[in-house]
């Protein structure tokens, strides 16, 4: 009995003296695909725009997401005033893919001075593919009515049939070319391409937003237009590794991953404190070891030269993943590195291309069922007719 009370006393002491941040439930987020395969999570984009645009003041803001899973960005900008949010896809859940030849054409063609964002959205709906699930939120804004307008176009991995991502860049650029008090910045691919000002990487996005932010004040308008590929990421926050830790994450957009040819899934960790990459002793996904050391990215949100967050990324072999409950085990060098707290651990789909007409025309399982049933009925009907014809005397 005395040991029972002793153990109880020790447990109570530990509970009340050691601060423990509970691990949050996993959530599905959207991300911008980049040229470097280091994807930019929705929360990271919102932090960048908050630091460089919102805090400087603005008259209005227009954010258009025409890539896959674009609706997943809406909740991160819910607190932004005088802001219009447009997307080719629904807010979710679930997050959806967008389509080439769909919403993005109408939106890019009609995002121009003097029109409203409701008009832009309706024109996107007019050209939308049946697989698009358009959504909008926020306030209806008029394009270009401020003293100055600053447009930032993002295309992480532009390709698409008939160069449709480049066509979106051309449309936006031409819509604002020659307009007074207007700037257009294009970040795409590796920095090459018509009208392109730089590569589509986190570092270049931060610099571009910083340069735009210098010009921002309460009379300015900011427009962000994203095209090309999208990314989906399943995230758990507040992951504490006391030597080792384990968690499970679903594979985001697994069905889209297996039919997409070029995506590179990855596992990423974020931390406010710098963790030596040598602290990672082993990281496994479903017992499959990931390559070490992880690639380190420094995330400077406010352009002061001091990283605000560190991100560690490792590619994951897609064949080792499953749709749900991927077991992730992280072992850190506690002796030399101590207890490690990750702000978030995310399993990313990699850059997912929009649907093409040929891929979107592939029947779904339910449609295949109807096709097979119709075929069986036709076959049965033909047999019945044949037997009746045979039964008729000559």
Tell me what pLDDT residue 262 has: 86
How large is the angle between the packed helices 103-110 and 117-127, nearest 10 degrees?
140
Tell me what pLDDT residue 146 has: 83
Walk across the sheet containing 266-271 and list its strands: 40-41, 27-32, 230-241, 340-348, 266-271, 309-315, 295-299
All residue ranges of the chain with pLDDT < 50 are 1-21, 358-368
Could you tell me which of 271, 350, 274, 356 has the C-alpha nearest to residue 317?
350
Tell me what pLDDT residue 13 has: 39
Tell me what pLDDT residue 381 has: 65
Tell me what pLDDT residue 389 has: 60
Tens-place pLDDT, residues 25-73? 679 999 999 998 799 999 999 999 999 999 999 999 999 999 999 999 9
Domains and CATH numbers, the chain: 31-229 (no CATH), 232-348 (2.60.120)
Average pLDDT, the chain: 89
φ, ψ (nearest 5 deg) of residue 20: -125, 125
Tens-place pLDDT, residues 75-107? 999 999 999 999 999 998 899 999 999 999 999
Strand stretches in the chain, DSSP E: 27-32, 40-41, 60-65, 83-87, 135-138, 148-155, 182-188, 220-227, 230-241, 244-249, 266-271, 280-285, 288-289, 295-299, 309-315, 326-332, 340-348
Tell me what pLDDT residue 261 has: 84
Tell me what pLDDT residue 36 has: 86
Tell me what pLDDT residue 16 has: 38
Tell me what pLDDT residue 237 has: 97
């Amino acid at each position: 009995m005395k040991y029972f009370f002793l153990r109880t006393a020790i447990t109570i002491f530990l509970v009340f003296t050691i601060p423990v941040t509970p691990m949050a439930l996993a959530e599905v987020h959207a991300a911008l695909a980049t040229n470097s395969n280091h994807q930019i999570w929705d929360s990271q984009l919102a932090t960048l725009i908050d630091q460089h645009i919102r805090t400087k003041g603005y008259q209005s803001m227009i954010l258009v997401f025409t890539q896959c899973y674009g609706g997943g960005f809406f909740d991160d900008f819910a607190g932004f005033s005088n802001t219009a949010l447009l997307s080719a896809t629904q807010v979710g859940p679930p997050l959806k893919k967008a389509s080439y030849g769909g919403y993005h054409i109408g939106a890019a063609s009609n995002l121009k001075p003097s029109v409203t964002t409701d008009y832009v959205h309706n024109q996107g709906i007019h050209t939308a593919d049946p697989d698009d699930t358009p959504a909008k939120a926020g306030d209806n804004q008029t394009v270009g009515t401020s003293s100055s307008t600053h447009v930032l176009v993002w295309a992480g991995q532009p390709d698409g049939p008939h160069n449709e991502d480049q066509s979106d860049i051309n449309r936006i650029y031409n819509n604002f070319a020659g307009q007074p008090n207007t700037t257009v910045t294009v970040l795409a691919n590796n920095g090459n391409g018509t009208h392109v000002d730089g590569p589509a990487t986190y570092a270049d996005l931060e610099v571009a937003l910083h340069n735009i932010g210098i010009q921002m004040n309460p009379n300015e308008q900011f427009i962000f237009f994203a095209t090309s590929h999208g990314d989906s990421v399943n995230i758990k926050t507040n992951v504490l590794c006391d030597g080792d830790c384990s968690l499970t994450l679903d594979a985001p957009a697994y069905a889209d991953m297996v039919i997409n040819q070029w995506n590179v899934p990855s596992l990423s960790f974020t931390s406010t404190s710098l963790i030596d990459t040598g602290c990672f002793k082993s990281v496994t996904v479903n017992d499959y070891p990931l390559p070490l050391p992880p690639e380190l990215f420094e995330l400077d949100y406010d352009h002061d030269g001091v990283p605000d967050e560190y991100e560690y990324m490792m590619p994951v072999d897609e064949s080792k993943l499953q749709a749900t409950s991927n077991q992730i085990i992280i072992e850190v060098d506690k002796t030399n590195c101590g207890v490690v707290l990750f702000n978030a651990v995310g399993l990313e789909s990699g850059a997912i291309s929009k649907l093409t007409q040929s891929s979107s025309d592939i029947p779904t399982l339910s449609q295949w069922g109807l096709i097979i049933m119709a075929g069986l009925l036709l076959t049965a009907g033909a047999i019945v007719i044949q037997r009746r014809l045979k039964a008729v005397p000559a």
